[in-house]
Amino acid sequence: MLNVSDPNLKHDAGSDLDPSPQLVPVVWSLAALVALLSGAAVGALGLGFIAKKIGAPVPDFATVGGVLLGTVAGAAVLYFGLMRSCGWGLRELGFVRPAHSLWHLLWWTPVTMLCGGVGAMLIGTAAGLAPQDGSADRDGFHLGVAAGLLMILCGAVVIPAIEEIVFRRMLFDGLRTKLSTPLAAILVTVAFALVHAQPAVMLYIAFLGTSLVLARLWFQSLWGSFLVHAANNALLSAMILASL
């Protein structure tokens, strides 16, 4: 049960969601992000090494290991840190009734992906950036339909939920208690893009992150940004699996 007298859950007028994140919840969310990234790295390297030793398809095993271990690690830290330790539930995490109908996402989502794709392509071409083509010698995903569906579930549901809680709820609302909303939005969008290491990918993520912050503000709920993020990742996950 949420204890509203806890100083870590104190509401601040700088946020449209209650409570405004304080130090302890923000630290837990950052720990979850670190767990997600480090778990992905360890999982990819570990299963990739095992696959090489047994003669299995290394890219497939590395991808599965990275996604699964990263997802489990990030979700576990978020659950035990925010939900068990701080007593946060869905409402405190930002999943409240949206201020506007979610039917708007039927146009918001494709516009986001179209603008992100075109914008990233134009800027990337002008800057001489292009994603590396590493799929020329691959002929499909070899670990079966069940593994593929599990990958899409993690990539399109769990990981977007973790990232939305960390970036658009904890960091964004936390920064808004100290900074103006536009400046907080810029900082969170930049941080969100930087987490995705490849420069060509970061361009698209910057456009996506901008749309997600706008969705978070307009809907006044994490449902809007989460559903846009989930739809984007579902499509990209399916495309990546098809290219392996």
pLDDT in tens, 139-151: 566 677 788 788 8
Decide: helix, strand or coil at residue 49. helix
Q: Which pLDDT score, from 0 to 100, does residue 143 have?
A: 72
Confidence of residue 132 (pLDDT cuts 50, 70, 90): low
pLDDT digits (tens, 9 = 90+) for 161-189: 999 999 999 999 999 999 999 999 999 99
Q: Which pLDDT score, from 0 to 100, does residue 140 have?
A: 60
Residue labelled with tokens 């494709």: 110
* 120 closest CA partner among 201, 225, 194: 201
Q: Which pLDDT score, from 0 to 100, does residue 116 have?
A: 93
Residue labelled with tokens 């047994």: 54
Is the model's pLDDT at 133 over the cut of 90? Answer: no
pLDDT digits (tens, 9 = 90+) for 107-124: 999 999 999 999 988 888
Contact between residue 22 and residue 7 where contact means Cβ atoms under 8 Å apart: yes
Q: Which pLDDT score, from 0 to 100, does residue 126 have?
A: 83
From residue 45, how far is each of 41, 61, 154 by CA, in Å? 6, 9, 18
Phi, psi torsion values for 67, nearest 5 degrees: -65, -45
Q: Which pLDDT score, from 0 to 100, does residue 2 have?
A: 38
Would you list the domain boundaries of the chain?
Answer: 7-243
Contact between residue 210 and residue 108 where contact means Cβ atoms under 8 Å apart: no
C-alpha dihedral over 179, 6, 225, 231, to 10 degrees? 140
Contact between residue 64 and residue 58 where contact means Cβ atoms under 8 Å apart: no
pTM summary value: 0.88
Is the model's pLDDT at 1 over the cut of 50? Answer: no
Report the b/e string of 45-56 with b at 16+ CB within 10 A. eebbeebeeeee
DSSP string of 65-94, one letter each residue = HHHHHHHHHHHHHHIIIIIIIS---HHHHT
Is the model's pLDDT at 230 over the cut of 60? Answer: yes
* 207 closest CA partner among 228, 235, 224: 228
The span from the CA of 18 to the CA of 173, in Å, is 10
pLDDT digits (tens, 9 = 90+) for 31-58: 999 999 999 999 999 999 999 999 888 8
Confidence of residue 6 (pLDDT cuts 50, 70, 90): very low
**What percentage of the chain exceeds 70 in pLDDT?**
86
Residue 169's region, left for phi above 0, alpha for psi from -120 to 50, else beta, is: alpha
